Amino acid sequence: MAIRNILLVFSALMVLMHSCQTPSAPARDEIFKKELFAVEKEFCAMAQSKGIQQAFVYFAADSAVILRGDRLIKGKEAIRRQYESMPAKGVILVWSPDFAEVSGSGDLGYTFGKYTFSKTDSLGHNIQSRGIFHTVWKRQLNGQWKFVWD
């Protein structure tokens, strides 16, 4: 009887240990990619609901760098200043990721896709530009993804 109980306990422990294993590498990679797609979409949604400046500041890592024209804007505070003069109304930035890739360790990734930037000029004309964006993301110590390059 004691051997039977030991075997039952051993079997239960084996099942429990197997169920606690981390996902396989391909499954884990897909989870990471889905996380990045979701973060990129949250980033865009915040730009729509709360404004471009607030979204870029919120999703930027402290050391983030953005390229605008031929200028590098370095650091979260500089990014905040870059967007502070942008009017809250009449300016729309919309984008959607087409692709995401994440490192095997799950701490660095990138996305790219298409964007549309629209603004209304002083005469009421709508001016649009379209292009391709590329964002590099880094998982922070608290587990959140923040961009380090845009």
Element (H, E) at 119: strand 108-120
The predicted structure's pLDDT at residue 79: 97
Topology of domain 25-149 in CATH is Nuclear Transport Factor 2; Chain: A, (3.10.450)
Q: Give residue-wise pLDDT tens across range 69-97.
A: 999 999 999 999 999 887 767 799 999 99
Examine the pLDDT at 30 and tell me if it is beyond 70: yes
What separation in angstroms does the CA of 136 have from each of 14, 21, 118, 147? 40, 29, 24, 6
For the segment 59-64, the average pLDDT, to the nearest whole number, is 98
The predicted structure's pLDDT at residue 122: 81
Q: Given pLDDT bands bounded at 50, 70 and 90, which one contains residue 5?
A: low
Phi-psi region of 71 (alpha: psi -120 to 50; beta: other; left: phi over 0): beta
